Amino acid sequence: MTKQALLDVLDGADRKTNAEWLAGLDERKRAELAFHNQNRDPSRMNVLPQDTYEQLYGNKKFYRTVAQSSAYVDAWIARHARGKIFLDYACGNGLNAIKAAQAGAALSIGLDISDVSVQNATGLAAAQGLAGDTHFVQGDCERTGLPDQCVDTVLCSGMLHHLDLSYAFYELRRILKPGGVMLAVEALDDNPLIKIYRNRTPAMRTAWEAAHILSYKDLAFAARFFQVKEVRHWHLFSILGAWIPAALPLFDAMDTAILRAPFIKRMSWMFTFELHKAA
């Protein structure tokens, strides 16, 4: 499929009316759409009372400690995007799709259930002069509407736990070209203290999301569809950098040393893994 033919398909998806779009979603997906539209509305964050802001966005302080995994993802995009049809699967505000375009992707697509996210991403890409190299579309990641075998590279960053993997993995295998590769970045469900924190902060996530944090069982399930490679673990001591930022380099060094140990690595906050489709 040519780049222009794929753009024509994406343009057709853009022409759906809001009523047509909502009619195709079940209750779970409508809840996800509403949650992410609300969560990604930039005007909302500036007017919330402090206690409400903390309930909804208090976990943002932890994401200031993820420099190591973020650098890994950025380097992966730079290696795998050039000249490729790249899909940022559940793209959020499109930052990774924009990075792929900057790295020389033939076309960088962002797909997300949230129309607010799509609007944000489109605006950010245009502001950086990348409107012609990117295309953002509102869509259902479990039923993308994309043609068979149309993308080379996929990034799934912090979003698989929002999906029913029995549909998502099938759909990803369908749209990925033979020899294609994906990188997934996910929270890991093994650390009991992190589980307690999630249970105590329900406003930060949807009910489905909270109940579907990924585990090694999901890696085994993914192996039914793909070859699973390059499983890496990130962030244990570095979480403390949310409160002691000056010590973050030390905490990162401790993580690098300790998160290779067979049991301890399962206590990490996040893990990354590649999914390869056979050529």
pLDDT tens track for 36-55: 877 777 655 554 333 333 33
DSSP alpha helix (H) spans, the chain: 3-14, 18-23, 27-39, 42-45, 50-57, 67-80, 95-102, 115-127, 165-175, 192-200, 207-211, 216-222, 248-258
**161-175, 196-210, 239-253, 260-274 — which is least confidently predicted?**
196-210
Which residues span the domain enclosing 252? Answer: 3-276
pLDDT for res 107: 92
User: Mean pLDDT over residues 134-138, rounded?
Assistant: 90
Number of domains forming the structure of the chain: 1
Instruction: Please give the backbone phi and psi of residue 3, each rounded to the nearest 5 degrees, phi first.
Output: -60, -40
pLDDT in tens, 203-240: 777 788 888 899 999 999 999 999 999 999 999 999 99
Q: What percent of the chain has pLDDT over 90?
A: 53
Q: Reply yes or no on whether the pLDDT at 28 is more than 50.
A: yes
CATH code at 116?
Answer: 3.40.50.150
Residues 215, 218, 223, 229, CA torsion sign: negative
3-state SS assignment for residue 26: coil
Q: CA-to-CA distance for 73 and 278, rounded, in angstroms? A: 22
Mean pLDDT of the chain: 86
Between 1 and 7, the more confident residue is: 7
Contact 121, 100 (CB under 8 A): no
**47-61, 83-97, 135-149 — which is least confidently predicted?**
47-61
Q: What is the largest CA-CA distance in the chain?
A: 53
pTM above 0.75, yes or no: yes
- Joined tokens for residue 255: 């993580």
**3-12, 67-76, 243-252 — which is least confidently predicted?**
3-12
